[in-house]
Amino acid sequence: MRLSGEPGIRLPRGRRPRSLDDALLPLINIVFLLMVFFLFVGRLGGERGTARAPVSQSREAEAVAASPQQLELLPDGRLQIGSERFGEAELAGRIGDWQGRSVDLRSSADAPAERVLRVLGVLRAGGVGEVRLLTVRARS
């Protein structure tokens, strides 16, 4: 029989339960080390065997490809590129290097639809990628 003053069985105190942060810290360290390792290896491996154009040349090429070619359908029936004026029959010969590029076709609002459609057909046959039709108000 036990008396009230006698000590009972003493169990050793267990370790304090670890917090979730303490348990995740080694995992976080490993993830960051792996990330740094792969970034370093990727940077070294990416430079081998790749030829890059100088920045100025590649930017110039992008600017030329991005800017649409300007073509104007004049009221007298002729076409204009820059300051050059020519007839519809000459258009196919002048658009040889426009394949895949975009073209801005500027025309007056009162231009006959048949003329605009003929020019669009020539542009399509020449391999032009995209045509934007820009209409200009007719002068009154």
For the full predicted model, state whether its pTM sits above 0.85: no
At 42, phi and psi to the nearest 5?
-65, -35
Task: Fill in the amino acid letter for 66.
Answer: A
Per-residue pLDDT tens over the stretch 62-79: 555 568 888 898 888 888
Per-residue pLDDT tens over the stretch 93-124: 888 888 888 899 998 888 888 998 998 898 88
Does 114 fall in a domain? yes
CB 125 within 8 A of CB 96: no
Does 120 fall in a domain? yes
Does 57 fall in a domain? no
Does 101 fall in a domain? yes
> By CB neighbour count within 10 A (0-12 exposed, 13-18 middle, 19+ buried), where does 18 fall?
exposed
C-alpha atoms less than 13 angstroms from C-alpha of 48 in its C-beta half-sphere: 5
Per-residue pLDDT tens over the stretch 18-66: 677 788 888 999 999 999 999 888 877 655 555 566 656 656 555 555 6
Closest to 113 (Cα-Cα) out of 103, 121, 104: 121
Does 131 fall in a domain? yes
Q: How many domains does the chain have?
A: 1
Question: What CATH number is attached to the domain comprising 67?
Answer: 3.30.420
Does 70 fall in a domain? yes
Does 35 fall in a domain? no
Domain that holds residue 109: 63-136
